[in-house]
Structure 1
Amino acid sequence: MNDRVAPDPYTIPLDRIDVSDPELYRSNRMWSYFARLRHEDPVHYCANSAYGPFWSVTRYKDIMHVESSHDVFSSDVAYGGVTLREGNAGLMLPMFIAMDPPKHDVQRKVVSPVVAPSNLAKLEATIRERAGKIFDSLPRNEPFNWVDRVSIELTTQMLATLFDFPWEERRNLTRWSDMVTSEEAYLSKEAEEERTAQLGEAAAAFLGMWNERVNASEPGGDLISMLAHGEATRNMSQEEYLGNCFLLLVGGNDTTRNSISGGLLALSQNPDQYKKLRDNPALVENMVPEIIRYQTPLSHMRRTALCDTELGGKQIRKGDKVVMWYVSGNRDEDAIENPNSFIVERPRPRQHLSFGFGIHRCMGNRLAEMQLRIVWEEILKRWPDKPIEVVGEPKLVFSNFIKGIEELPAIIRD
């Protein structure tokens, strides 16, 4: 966003500030907007936006309150779901993240074994082998797109394994995930038609996998088999099944993929921290949650008030849309010391909101952390003495939901 359309937020009347504009995120100009809201109006009402009126919750403690109060602030798709945009065919389907207890709890429980510690231990060797092959195949002394060659490839391989999806078609999973959350798809009629067609293709593929696996005599350990044979999910509607597939697809893709990219970018922007890491590779374990905090791969989650309530001294009315801006809470100076600094040795690095909190805390958080840990362990093994260099500006995603990176030009020098 250029200066003409993105003025200094301190020159705008407070009630006119709208942090939902996706262009703020593509241009990385949202930080000062959130800083002003945290200091002057931490529970802020935006009466006019492209997404309708909504409340912005920008401080860490208030976000934690909303996350913890699922009896007051609903995730249910019947009230609008978990994103600012309503009417998104991919995210307005019933899915367990967009359900309230008790249904949320029983559906989540069906698929949670795939990220149980015992299964993660089995996956670790596979992820390490794949990461090694990816790094060994990268070009030397010539720029390449880190997002495509590393971040997307590693996470797409993981998704293909979790879904037991045809290996040679695995990039479809990335494409479909991007379409589920795309904001650019709403910019033209042609883009919307393309998005509808792609989601239809995804739905047909997932329904085919259900039909194949529901009839298997021995259920597999993949996510589709778990849903097809789980007592609480085997009789779910087609819409609920597809909703859960899209949820697991996006959840398995975006957090890890954008944290892999965001980690390299953060280290390149903080060479002193990259040097600390190379001097002491044991810091990887501590750095991983710091990457996830600093990147904040999902900018927000939305709730709907089930009754009149008070939050931060403001009166929230029944039916109001309430948006928790994780991207702001993770930079809240009252909750996190030096929040705008990337610190590989940060004390209590898991004190962040990137995975949410409470009953909707990201189910795959440990899998995401494990993949990032392995990535950086394998990088430091191969390049202990010199950094992987970022050699151009990142291209950021046009979205107020996915805080992502589309392109990150990098080079590995001999």
Structure 2
Amino acid sequence: MLFRSWEQAPAATEGARAGSGVARVADHVGTEHLLVTRHALVRQVLTDPQTYRPDNALDAVTPMPVAALRVLAAHRFRLPPTLANNGGASHPGLRAMVADALHPKRVADQRDWLAALVRQRVATLTETLDTGTPVDLYADLAADLPLLVLARLVELPDAPVAAVKNFARAALELFWAPLDADRQQALAAEVGRFHRVLREFAATGGGLAGSLRAAGHPPDVVVGALFFLLVAGQETTSQFLTLLMHRLTGEPAVLAGLRDGSVAAADVVEEGLRLEPPIVTWRRVAAVDTTLGGTAVAAGTSIVLWLARAGRDPAVVEVPDGFRPGQRGSRRHLAFGAGAHRCVGDHLARMEAATVVTETASLLAGVRVLRAPWCPDNLTFRMPDTFLVRR
């Protein structure tokens, strides 16, 4: 969900939508950013970490007041450069360890288990729908699936699912949403409390945490890696599953193709990532004076890469706004980023989405939407909530 103020002010983003693909925009606190939309330019920035550094990737878009900072400090909250915001020498080694934990072979080994779980849930939801009762496909199907899979892969803390989900959503809101001071303080308390839980687990846990400790990484780095995984490794995927299922309820021909085998689930997933990505923007900061798309960029400039718009670039995809699985350019989206910071969990997200698409095609073909997922104002994440359907 790009800031609504930007979406609703076409004049402010005219240059970004067409022509140069670059426009200067101001956010809710008056900070100026360079908004980039053309696929080629977005990819250029992502693949040039020397000119465009990731240092600001996790900065709070609403500057935190002293009260919220004190709350975080009381919980000893720290978020050192680890993955998304790490442009230093430690990044390749950390990334390699996380990538090994999410290796495609290990991910593939989870497919049958996940398919059985989804099949069981779909059967239960179908029985409920048959009685005429509505069901929530977010809460009752998609919300916790990625977390359950991730826990099996990296031996995450044995914390209640609801606590992890609340923490992850609180973190996405605290760092990427327009907020008032009271809301920031409340979110800081929730994020800080869970950070304490992560800190305890980082000191004793096995799996990825144990591997990072054994490699000599300090506790703050272990906690930072776990923090990022619990947000990027599961919350974004549950968002995508919800957004994709909602999109498919309006694509009867695609659902029919899935059921008769003429449309591949993998192609549906790629079109979903292109048109309904859960992460709509990402940030970089210019390290030096440069130019981008003919626009002068001063060192220190905040750059917002509109990933979702890049996925609809007519220079890349044949039918930019149509849901056409397998069409030319469909797989060239930037939903997982590009370059040295490309998402290490792309295989995992694709496997989970393909499994859900396959197992829910018949269910989705027989429902109507009572309440579409609603997404709050947020620079980067869409964060859908309830998705209510009935027969």
Deviation at 1:92, TM superposition (A): 5.5
The 5 Å alignment of 1:299-378 reads 299-378=280-359
Q: 2:189 aligns with which of 190, 197, 200?
A: 197
Q: Aligned letter for 1:135?
A: V
SS of the aligned residue for 1:350 comes to helix
How far has the Cα of 1:405 moved from its partner? 1.5
For 1:163 and 1:395, how far apart are their aligned partners in 2? 31
Q: Deviations over 1:42-79 (max 9, x none)?
A: 11112564261110111101001101111100002xxx
Residue 359 of structure 1 aligns to a residue whose secondary structure is helix
Corresponding residue of 1:95: 82
Q: Which region of structure 1 is more displaced relative to structure 2, 319-328 or 267-276?
A: 267-276
Q: Work out whether residues 47 and 54 of structure 1, in 8 Å CA contact, stay in contact via their aligned partners in 2.
A: yes
1:217 corresponding residue in structure 2: none
Query: Any idea what SS the aligned residue of 2:305 has?
Result: strand
| Cα offsets for 1:243-298 (capped at 9, x unmatched) | 22221111112331122111111112222322232232652121111111111111
- 1: CA distance, partners of 2:123 / 2:332: 34
- Answering whether residue 147 of structure 2 is matched by residue 171 of structure 1, we say no
For residues 9 and 134 of structure 2, what CA distance do their matches in structure 1 show? 29
- The equivalent residue for 2:218 is 236
SS at match of 1:318: coil
- Structure 2 counterpart of 1:397, from 370, 376, 382: 376
Cα offset, 1:102, TM superposition? 2.6
Aligned residues of 1:160 and 1:170 also touching (Cα < 8 A): no
C-alpha contact (below 8 Å) 1:20/1:400 kept by paired residues: yes
The 2-side partners of 1:237 and 1:393 are apart by 41
Structure 2 vs 1, CA of residues 328 and 34 (structure 1 numbering), >3 Å: closer, same or farther? farther
Alignment of structure 1 residues 176-325 onto 2, 5 Å = 176-182=167-173, 187-213=179-205, 220=206, 222-229=207-214, 231=215, 234-238=216-220, 240-280=221-261, 283-325=264-306
Q: State the partner residue of 1:117.
A: 104
User: Aligned pair 1:158/2:141, yes or no?
Assistant: no
**Residue identity opposite 1:61 in structure 2:** A
State the distance in 2 between where 1:124 and 1:145 align: 24
Sequence identity of aligned pairs in percent?
Answer: 21
Paired amino acid for 2:355: I
Alignment of 1:31-70 (within 5 A): 37-47=16-26, 49-50=28-29, 52-70=31-49
Tell me how far 1:84 sits from its aligned partner: 7.0
When residues 316 and 92 of structure 1 are mapped into structure 2, their CA distance, relative to the original with a 3 A threshold, is farther
- Match of 1:52, as an amino acid? T
- Indicate how the Cα distance of structure 1 residues 73 and 91 shifts in structure 2: closer, same or farther if over 3 A, else same: farther
The residue aligned with 2:67 is none
Question: 1:343: Cα distance to partner?
Answer: 1.4
**1:386-412: per-residue Cα shift (whole Å, max 9, x none)?**
43432333312321210231121122x
2:53 equivalent in structure 1: 74
RMSD: 2.8
* Rounded Cα–Cα distance in structure 2 between residues aligned with 1:307 and 1:41: 20
The Cα offsets for residues 219-253 of structure 1, whole Å up to 9 and x where unpaired, read as x4x33223222x2xx33252x33322221111112
TM-score (norm 2): 0.86
Specify the code of the residue in structure 2 equivalent to 1:287: V
Q: Decide whether aligned partners of structure 1 residues 167 and 393 sit closer, same or farther in structure 2, where only a CA change above 3 A counts.
A: same
Whether the 8 Å CA contact 1:84–1:302 is kept in 2: the answer is no
Are the aligned partners of 1:299 and 1:325 in contact in 2 as well (CA < 8 Å)? yes
Alignment gaps of 5+ in structure 2 = 65-71
Flag the 1:194–1:185 CA change in 2: closer, same or farther, 3 A. farther
> Hey, what's the Cα distance between the residues in 1 that align with 2:49 and 2:309?
21
Quick one: structure 1 residues 293 and 169, their matched pair in 2 at CA, closer, same or farther if it must change by over 3 Å?
same
Cα contact 1:287–1:349 (8 A) shared by 2: no
Question: d(CA) in 2 for partners of 1:384 and 1:227?
Answer: 42
Contact 2:107 2:153 in 1 (8 A): no
Contact kept? 2:286, 2:297, Cα under 8 Å: yes
The CA deviation at 1:347 is 3.6
Measure, in 2, the Cα distance between the counterparts of 1:175 and 1:338: 37
Query: How far apart are residue 322 of structure 1 and its match?
Result: 1.0
Instruction: State the alpha-carbon separation in 2 of the partners of residues 121 and 175 from structure 1.
Output: 28
Residue correspondences, number: 375
